Structures are given as structure tokens and as C-alpha cells.
């Protein structure tokens, strides 16, 4: 094991300095790079039997790296998948109540351990990414990389005439969990009918659309995500998945590079 001696790109073993532990954890498909850093800080990662809590620590080729006592190895195949999640499926790796998991829809075709990028709540449906590529997950999930998400909404009652304008301007609501206030703000709202609209979010908060509707006494009878940045759901059937195409990955990388996060 070696200490960090400065940034080394994406953690390639160069100059005999090894690879950063959080990079190894992310490449093993256990978590995104940001979550992998939390693994290290919590002492869950060990090198040659010794727990390491320093984010700068690196492992050398031949070192035994474990997470929670289990040896990790980088996945041989990097996957970037898109799933059309049906309502009633949970975006989590496990559930104590035994509810259906969106990740299970990838089985048995996907044997690698992949995780969802962001979330759709239990009753929402539509486009969500799954991956074992930590750097891709970090960019796709972080607001600074500018992926605007598009949602189709249908409501139980007529939309208020000023709903779209007020949501775009910003709505004050109780934060989740409770205890503070926060602003719910849409990037854009386009009303398509008396009970339907399309909403674009630049920085989604927890259940943001449902909470905004609730401020007007409304409930969503359909909440479907149809696009993440340049990637559209298209005609992918509900409950099915596919790999992102080379063209889609290229357009995502262009979006990342042109964003605030890509120019830091």
C-alpha cells in the first residue's frame, strides 16, 4: 500500500504509486466513486488485512483489498444500462420489506453487480441508468454535470392555471426529512392538457414533482421519466433494458464536457 502523492487521473497505477482505494471499490461495482470514499472513511476497506481510512491511500498490484472482509476485483466488463422501470419497483439494492427491486429486472442477463444512478420513487416509472462504472455514475448523477431530466405527468384533477409558472419561479416547501424549508424549482413546465404536463428538472430533489403538485392539492396518477440529458426512453418496453449505444455515450460525454462540472 502506498500514500497518495497527488492526483493520478482516474487512479491508474502509474509511476509505482498504485491505485486509489476508492477507485478500486468503484471499479468493483460496489458503489459510485463518491460512495466509495465513504466506504474508505468508515474503515470498511482493508489492504492486506489492515483497515485503511485515508482517502489518499493506494493499493499496489498484488495487494489484497477487501470491503467488509470480502475480496474485491475490478469488473472485467463496464456496463452502462438504461431500464424502463415499471411502477411498483424499488430503486435499491435490497429491501427489508421484500418489495420488488428494479435491479432484479436485469437478471439473469446481467451477472455483474450494477447499481442505479439516482432514483425513481416506488410508484414512478420510466428511464433510469444502471452501471458498474463509478466515474460514469458520478457524472450522470451530479447536478454540476448538467443532465436535465424530462418527465411526463398526469394528475388526478385539473392543473391550476399558474402551476407551471410558480413551479418555474420556485415553490417553498418543507424539506424532506422535516425540519427546514427548501425551494422546489422546475427548469421548465409545459402544460399539455387540463390534467397533463411535461416537466424538466435540472436538479431533482427528493419526490420534488409530487411535492410541488401536493402544494396545489394535486396527485400524480402517472409520473414517467422520458429523458436524461440527451438520452431518451424512446420505445423501450416497460420492464426491459438495454445498453446505452456508442452514440448515446458520446452525446453524454459531450454534455459532461460542456457543463460546469466538466470545466472545473
174: annotated active-site residue? no
The pLDDT score that the predictor gives to residue 103 is: 96
For residue range 111-126, what is the model confidence (pLDDT) as tens digits? 888 999 999 999 999 9
Catalytic residue chosen out of the listed positions 14, 63, 121, 247: 121
Confidence of residue 262 (pLDDT cuts 50, 70, 90): low
- pLDDT grade for 13, boundaries at 50, 70 and 90: very low
Instruction: Convert 231-263 to b/e letters by CB count within 10 Å (16 or more is b).
Output: bebeeeeeeebeebeeebeeebeebbeebebee
| Phi and psi at residue 189, to the nearest 5° | -130, 130
What residue has cell string 452514440? 247
Angle at 258 between CA 143 and CA 151, to 5 degrees: 45
Cell 493499493, located at residue: 59
Q: How many CB atoms lie within 10 A of CB 182?
A: 16
Cα–Cα distances in Å, from 236 out to 4, 101, 112, 136, 212?
44, 19, 22, 22, 28
| CA neighbor of 204 nearest in space, from 183, 230, 219 | 183
Among 211, 212, 162, 170, which residue's Cα sits nearest to residue 191? 162
Question: Per residue in 101-157, pLDDT tens?
Answer: 999 999 999 988 899 999 999 999 999 999 999 899 999 999 889 899 999 999 999
Domains along the chain? 19-71 (3.10.290.10), 80-145+230-263 (3.30.70.580), 149-228 (3.30.70.1560)
Q: Which pTM value belongs to this model?
A: 0.73
Q: What does the mean pLDDT of the chain come to? A: 89
What angle do helix axes 134-141 and 33-41 make, rounded to 10 degrees? Answer: 110
Percent of the chain predicted with pLDDT > 90: 69
Question: Tens digits of per-residue pLDDT, 64-73?
Answer: 999 999 998 7
pLDDT value at position 75?
60
Report the distance separating Cα 194 and Cα 158, nearest Å. 5
How many Cα atoms within 13 Å fall on the side-chain side of residue 95? 14
Amino acid at each position: 500500500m502506498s500514500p497518495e502523492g497527488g492526483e493520478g487521473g482516474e487512479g491508474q497505477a502509474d509511476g509505482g504509486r498504485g491505485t486509489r482505494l476508492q477507485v478500486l471499490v468503484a471499479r468493483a461495482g460496489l458503489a459510485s466513486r463518491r460512495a466509495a470514499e465513504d466506504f474508505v472513511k468508515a474503515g470498511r476497506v482493508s489492504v492486506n488485512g489492515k483497515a485503511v481510512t485515508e482517502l489518499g491511500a493506494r493499493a499496489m498490484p498484488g495487494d489484497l483489498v477487501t470491503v467488509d472482509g470480502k475480496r474485491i476485483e475490478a469488473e472485467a466488463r463496464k456496463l452502462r444500462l438504461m431500464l424502463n422501470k415499471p411502477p411498483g419497483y424499488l430503486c435499491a439494492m435490497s429491501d427489508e420489506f421484500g418489495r420488488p427491486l428494479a435491479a432484479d429486472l436485469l437478471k439473469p442477463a446481467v451477472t455483474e453487480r450494477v447499481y442505479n444512478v439516482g432514483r425513481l420513487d416506488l410508484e414512478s416509472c420510466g428511464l433510469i441508468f444502471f452501471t458498474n462504472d463509478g466515474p460514469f455514475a458520478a457524472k450522470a448523477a451530479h447536478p454540476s454535470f448538467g443532465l436535465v431530466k424530462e418527465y411526463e405527468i398526469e394528475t388526478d384533477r385539473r392543473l391550476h392555471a399558474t402551476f407551471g409558472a410558480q413551479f418555474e419561479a420556485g415553490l417553498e416547501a418543507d424539506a424532506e426529512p422535516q425540519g427546514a424549508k427548501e425551494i422546489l424549482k422546475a427548469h421548465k413546465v409545459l402544460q399539455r392538457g387540463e390534467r397533463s404536463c411535461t416537466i424538466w428538472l435540472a436538479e431533482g430533489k427528493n419526490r420534488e414533482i409530487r411535492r410541488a403538485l401536493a402544494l396545489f392539492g394535486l396527485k400524480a396518477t402517472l409520473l414517467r421519466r422520458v429523458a436524461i440529458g440527451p438520452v431518451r426512453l424512446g420505445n423501450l418496453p416497460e420492464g426491459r433494458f438495454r445498453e446505452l449505444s456508442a452514440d448515446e455515450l458520446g452525446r453524454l460525454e459531450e454534455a459532461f464536457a460542456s457543463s460546469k462540472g466538466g470545466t472545473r
